Structure 1
Amino acid sequence: MTRPEQKSPPPADILEAALYAGDLDAAEGFYGALLGLEKLVRAGNRHVFYRVGGTILLIFNPAETVKPPSRAGLPVPPHGARGPGHVCFAATADEITAWRSRLIAAGHPIEADFTWPNGARSLYLRDPAGNSVEFAEPKLWFGEG
């Protein structure tokens, strides 16, 4: 496979990322109420969007996003995914410890809590839709900086 000629710089950041959940009320309870993310908008049973720092977390109902757009002025093509996805939130070691306690108290079992070979800690659990949710120290990818 040949690499296409680069005519512009690579993307500098991720503007938005998506997870899929059939029960948006449960998603709101987890991402909004429990995690405390700032909700930007909810569109009925189609989606709910949250601000996470400089990124937007899109939670889509997969049964709705496969449908063609209903508004001609917003020609977003149908899209979606099946099965659990993954999101990782940046957190310090102390924040991970606090999140662990808060999540367990709220009835969310922890799947894994460990330290990577480079010393970064990660905590894993599932959201109500079965998506893998991770809290990790940024040094996982970016070193001690």
Structure 2
Amino acid sequence: MNKLVFFLYLDHAEQVNQLKHDYSNHVRQQVYQALLMRSKNGKLGKNDTTIVGQQFGVKIRTVQRIWEQGKEQLAQNIPVNVHNRKRGRSGRKAIPIDLEKLRDIPLKNRMTIEDVARELGVSKSRIQSYLRKG
């Protein structure tokens, strides 16, 4: 009897700790279309989000968020686009290296990465990353 309870507890724990899904734009658009088909005068029924979520394998909260995005865009009279938000580039911006400055360094002073880094005034790791990038 105790084993049965333990297994049920494990099953419940797996459902609670599900990973976040990053749904494709195609799936998100299909979810919105299905919600539009089920809506009556812009209103959804009580279980519509649950049904559509199960149909596409999407969490209910995600379905609700897609519906809200679509409603906001319709209210602003812009074409409905429920695609994923674009993530911006983060981190330190690249500092360009002047290739002319590199060419001006005499060959005897650019035999090693350390020499080139010292002449250009940048770190060795930055030179190595530039070499990796080509």
Q: TM-score, normalised by structure 1?
A: 0.20
Query: Which structure features the higher share of strand residues?
Result: 1
Pick 1 or 2: higher relative contact order, CA cutoff 8 A, min separation 6. 1
Query: Which structure features the higher share of helix residues?
Result: 2
Pair member with larger Rg: 2
